[in-house]
Amino acid sequence: MEFLNHFRNGLVEGEDRDCFEKFLSPHVSMLYKSAIRMCGNPNDAQDLVQETLFCALKSFHQINDPEKSKYWMFSILRNLFLKDIEKTKKRAEIEFDSVCDKLTDRKHPEGDFLRAEVKSNLQEVLGKLDERLKIALVQFYFEGLSYKEISESLNIPIGTVMSRIARAKVYLKRELLRSESMRLEISKYIGDEE
């Protein structure tokens, strides 16, 4: 990640650079992946990660447990993202190639069409999803974080994390099943459990 090298090179030798290398640098890859899923494009994601790193370095003295810097940095990332959403009223688009690949069968010629339709429908539905629900859902399914890790990163109780994920899933299923082709495609994978 070239932007990371620019950031690192901009640091003066000493306390900031040591702090960055020891506590922040190991988590940049995770932050970047999360930022891409939140922002929907690499340029905005890089900007968000750089701003997160800058804020983390500036406020590192406030962290109680440096070993939990991963969750602390994710909280900064999330807060900056939400602040940007509030300012610009811009909705995030999330790339769902991995989900689309699971929902369509590449052996059939209609697979590309269905995959494009699934992706389009998912992006549209997720664009309408409340940001708090979307963030919990993304962290759980795309980042692979546990309920406890999400709870720590969002600074909310585990029960709230579970509730947000469950509500997001119900919303997604309901909205996606409104489309006949989506209903047929999704039913292959989730069955008729209504």
Q: Is residue 49 within 8 Å of residue 3, measured between CB atoms?
A: yes
What are the distances in angstroms from CA 166 to CA 80, 98, 126, 132, 133?
25, 20, 14, 12, 9
Domain ranges of the chain: 2-88, 97-190
Q: What is the pLDDT of residue 92?
A: 36
- C-alpha–C-alpha distance, residues 48 and 58, integer Å: 15
Q: What is the pLDDT of residue 19?
A: 67
Q: What is the pLDDT of residue 95?
A: 43
Q: What is the pLDDT of residue 194?
A: 44
- Domains 2-88 and 97-190 fall in the same CATH topology: no
Q: Is 103 exposed, middle or buried (0-12, 13-18, 19+ CB in 10 A)?
A: buried
Q: Is residue 35 within 8 Å of residue 45, measured between CB atoms?
A: yes
Specify the DSSP element, H or E, that contains 96.
none
Domain 2-88, CATH among 1.10.3720.10, 1.10.1740.10, 3.10.20.30, 1.10.8.50: 1.10.1740.10
Domain 97-190, CATH among 1.10.10.10, 1.10.3720.10, 1.10.1370.10, 2.50.20.10: 1.10.10.10
- C-alpha–C-alpha distance, residues 57 and 60, integer Å: 5
For the chain of 194 residues, list the mean pLDDT of each consecutive stretch of 10.
57 61 79 84 85 83 77 88 67 45 54 68 80 88 85 88 88 74 60 47
Q: What is the pLDDT of residue 193?
A: 46
Largest separation between any pair of C-alpha atoms in the chain: 60
